[in-house]
Amino acid sequence: MERKEFRAESKRLLDLMVNSIYTHKEIFLRELISNSSDAIDKIYYKALTDESISFNKDDYYIKIIADKENRTLTVSDTGIGMSKEELEENLGVIANSGSFAFKNENELKDGFDIIGQFGVGFYSAFMVADKVTVISKTFGANEGYKWESEGAEGYTIEPIEKDTVGTDIILTIKENTEDENYDEFLEEYRLRGIIKKYSDFIRYPIKMNVTKSRLKEGSEDEYEQYEEEQVINSMVPIWRKNKNELTEEDYKNFYTEKHFGFDEPIKSIHLSVDGVVRYNALLFIPSQIPYDFYTKEYEKGLELYSNGVLIMNKCADLLPDYFSFVKGIVDSEDLSLNISREILQHDRQLKLIAKKIEDKIKDELTLILKNEREKYEEFFKGFGKQLKFGVYSDFGMHKEVLQDLLIFYSSKEKKMVTLEEYVSRMPEEQKYIYYAAGESVERIDRLPQTELVKDKGYEILYFTDDIDEFAIKMLMQYKEKEFKSVSSGDLGIEADEKDKDNEKEIEENKELFSFMKESLSDKIKEIKPSKRLKNYPVCLSSEGELSIEMEKILSQMPDNQGIKADKILEINIHHHVFDTLKSAFENDKDKLKLYTNLLYNQALLIEGLPIEDPIEFTNNICKLM
């Protein structure tokens, strides 16, 4: 019989499993039972919706058999089974989740991490077994197949007789070592405990033979032991249980068991609605972003059940895009089993459920923001962008829902604040909500353009995400206060007396400014004395809808059309550099050209924009040295 190699990634993971020092080895059983349950879901759904298949609820179960003599533990199910191709495809490679590829070598050395984070499913069997045998017959096939592997060397596959459809996974349990006791995975008591702990909510019976004792027939004091098949799990899905029967721990276990995420959810939401549409929902707000969250591969959606039967893995219509990070399940007895994806989209009941879910998520997030700020900030680090995309998308249609969930770094508070907090602190004479956009808080903090606003004692919100300014433009205003970039032409701050005195100076230097403007030609729209600069000689500001930050972001887009902001070069006439400019204007116009060019390039650098001709720039500096 031919031995086949595992694919490279699988081999590495297998090595990891075999040599695992992971302390919770017991989770292998949870993984296998969960796979069995998924497989039964598939056939159960088929049987319910296809009239040609006879249906008997009792036919669907999982059975655990421990055989101490042969050191085998079998997890047997009456699920959909696997064909030869499926055995190869599913068990010869790491589950097509991509999660593995994402982990880098360093993280991989730490087996704990990968098991804890992703639940590598089937492969975890190798933590406790020397050999794993899978015997499976898929629905509609005439014969079964046996897949067998003793670890990283590879696996074999061959046809085998099997009467019933389903899968048996037979683990040959490892011998005990000095540090590890593997015998326990053959102990009835221990196995029951593991099943209760991790798989109690599985909706199909998990059966096991348990040892009992009874009075011997005809005897009054002599007992005998006998075996009886028992269902170990309670089978009530967690979402059907009463909230006060459940602990936070139960919800967390369910989250992990379902592989919703490798983190701990910041919130579990349990809904039992008995209105026009009756349904139960269990929703989770994760604390960490999944590695693929901001990629095309990420698929949003909730598991959808009709009266306990899974009808869709990821029902996207239940979640708005801006809450796409939410995981969970919805189960309604009012939904038809045979509902198709297309019908579902227009289903009135589903729409009602979706609306209620959206409201609930918003309320919960608002509560966390209010009462558990640190937690919210952690959440926002990961998912804040998604909320801001939500404000921006669909022409701002959802801004009302989302605006109070936004937080931004504040120049004054030195921490994240809400728009509401900002507005409530605004001095009476302050007209606008000021913001500054840039790469990082540190960089924005040093932007010359912030000087005047800070000097006035006004708070500035720092925008460090690309989407921020676009989202704010969509928002336009908050509580009737418009947003204003500190780089915009008109800041709406009254010039103080000193500035008025300077108007004379400006008038006197009109020609100097027009000479400088000419030498920069159309690189800038205008050059003018700055009202906002205090300590810096120059800065750039912009006029119109498109800011310099937005220009930067758009220029990085693949279909960038070279759209430019209208730039204004502002000169600080109180800076000693201005005296140098004046004297060059009098005595040496060529030098003034050089200076103008230098100042313009300096302003670009401060903005984080590339200078157009670095060679010319450095040559100019040398010329002046």
Ligand X SMILES: Nc1ncnc2c1ncn2[C@@H]1O[C@H](COP(=O)(O)OP(=O)(O)OP(=O)(O)O)[C@@H](O)[C@H]1O
Where does this chain bind ligand X (CB under 6 A)?
31, 35-36, 39, 77, 79-82, 90, 95, 97, 119, 121-123, 167, 259
Give CA–CA dist 108/16, Å, rounded.
Answer: 8
Crossing angle (nearest 10°) for helices 8-18 and 111-118: 110
Which residue bears the tokens 């984070």?
117
The alpha carbons of the chain give a radius of gyration, in whole angstroms, of 34
Distance, CA of 431 to CA of 453 (rounded, Å): 12
Exposure string for 209-242, b = 16+ CB within 10 A, e = fewer: eeeeeeeeeeeeeeeeeeeeeeebbeeebbbebe
Provide, rounded to whole angstroms, the least separation between the CB of residue 121 and ligand X.
2
For ligand X, the closer of residues 172 and 530 by Cβ is 172
State the nearest-atom distance from the C-beta of 77 to ligand X, in Å: 5
One-character DSSP codes across 8-64: HHHHHHHHHHHT---S-TTHHHHHHHHHHHHHHHHHHHHHHH-TTS---GGG--EEE
Q: 82 or 573, CB closer to ligand X?
A: 82
H or E segment at 72? strand 72-77
CB 232 within 8 A of CB 208: yes
Other beta carbons within 10 angstroms of residue 553's beta carbon come to: 17
Six-digit token pair at 102?
């994402």
CB of 342 to ligand X, least distance (A): 26
Q: Which is nearer to ligand X, 133 or 542 (CB)?
A: 133
Is residue 152 within 8 Å of residue 15, measured between CB atoms? yes
- Closest distance to ligand X from the beta carbon of 405 (Å): 30
What tokens appear for 512 in the block?
Answer: 């100097």
Per the rule left: phi > 0, alpha: psi between -120 and 50, beta: everything else, 601 is alpha
Per DSSP (E only), the strands in 426-561 are 433-437, 460-463, 477-478, 481-485, 526-529, 538-543
Using the minimum distance from each CB to ligand X, give the nearer residue, 39 or 565: 39
CB nearer to ligand X: pick between 120 and 447: 120
Minimal distance, residue 252 CB to ligand X, in Å = 17
**HSE, side-chain direction, 13 A CA sphere, residue 520:** 24
Q: How far is the CB of 353 from ligand X (least distance, A)?
A: 25
Q: How far is the CB of 226 from ligand X (least distance, A)?
A: 30
Least separation, in Å, of the C-beta of 12 and ligand X? 15
| Smallest distance, ligand X to C-beta of residue 119, A | 5
Name residue, tokens 């599913």.
90
User: Tokens 């708070």 belong to which residue?
Assistant: 459
Candidates 119, 38, 44, 32; CA nearest to 76 is 32
Smallest distance, Å, CB 357 to ligand X?
Answer: 24
